[in-house]
A and B are shown apart, each in its own frame.
Chain A
Amino acid sequence: GNSVTQMEGPVTLSEEAFLTINCTYTATGYPSLFWYVQYPGEGLQLLLKATKADDKGSNKGFEATYRKETTSFHLEKGSVQVSDSAVYFCALSRTGGGNKLTFGTGTQLKVEL
């Protein structure tokens, strides 16, 4: 079946540091890949997505590239801010899945001054 594996947290960084949160997946067919972010006290929000191999999703300085050869969708940001502190979820939706999402366990990011 489908599964998503992401690095355990918490990840603690200083402001302006480079961020990488690893995500790998197992799926049949050609899934769409997503990163969701959950700020404290709020619901999950879509951060970025990619729907086919080699696509790069980007938003708010975050990027992730759909790598089919390595079945990965790592999240990166060149310079994090304190306001980026949140929990980040990698997810996939299989083709024709009607938006049924399979989530990773989430990675908490803490950015300190």
Chain B
Amino acid sequence: GAVVSQHPSWVICKSGTSVKIECRSLDFQATTMFWYRQFPKQSLMLMATSNEGSKATYEQGVEKDKFLINHASLTLSTLTVTSAHPEDSSFYICSARDQLAGGNTGELFFGEGSRLTVL
């Protein structure tokens, strides 16, 4: 299947700094990518839908100024956690849909996740 890669896979930062996480579709183009957050022993929570060339669509309760999403190309979406605090520590996962292979019903491919720890 198609490959989605996230970088970095883990990051530790100081409180108040900003952290950028990249999500790349390696062998397909993705007009839409999704960002999830996973707390320990809890389900994946959809944070936002990233749309290439336009603004991201955020789920209710997710601060758009806190979690900046940019989808500048068909193979790259970035999530920037601004002014990070310890409560932002979590596992962040992205997924992407191969638009050409399946359109709106195509399979979603997931990255391996990025673990953020804010000290």
Contact = CB atoms under 8 A, between A and B. Distances in A.
A31 interface: no
Nearest to B39: A105
Interface in B40-60: 41-44, 46, 49
B100 to A, nearest CB: 14
A92 to B, nearest CB: 11
Given A99-B32, A99-B104, A45 B44 contact: no
Nearest to A34: B108
Interface in B14-50: 32, 34, 36, 41-44, 46, 49
Interface stretch (B61-69, B70-78, B82-90, B109-117): B109-117
A89 to B, nearest CB: 7
Interface residues on B, range: 20 to 34
Contacts, number: 50
Interface size class of A (residues with CB under 8 A): 10 to 19
Interface in A16-49: 36, 41-46
B4 A100 contact: no
Contact of B108 (A42, A101, A102, A106): A101
Contacts of B105: 99
B25 to A, nearest CB: 12
A25 B59 CA distance: 20
A46 B112 contact: no
B88 to A, nearest CB: 20
A88 interface: no
A32 B43 CA distance: 18
Nearest to A104: B43
Nearest to B112: A43
9 contacts: A36-B110, A41-B112, A43-B6, A44-B93, A98-B49, A99-B34, A99-B105, A99-B106, A106-B43
Interface of B: 1, 4, 6, 32, 34, 36, 41-44, 46, 49, 93, 95, 97, 104-113
Interface of A: 4, 36, 41-46, 89, 98-106
**The 10 residue pairs across chains A and B that have the minimum distance between CB atoms:** A43-B110, A44-B110, A43-B112, A103-B43, A103-B44, A105-B43, A43-B111, A99-B97, A99-B108, A46-B107
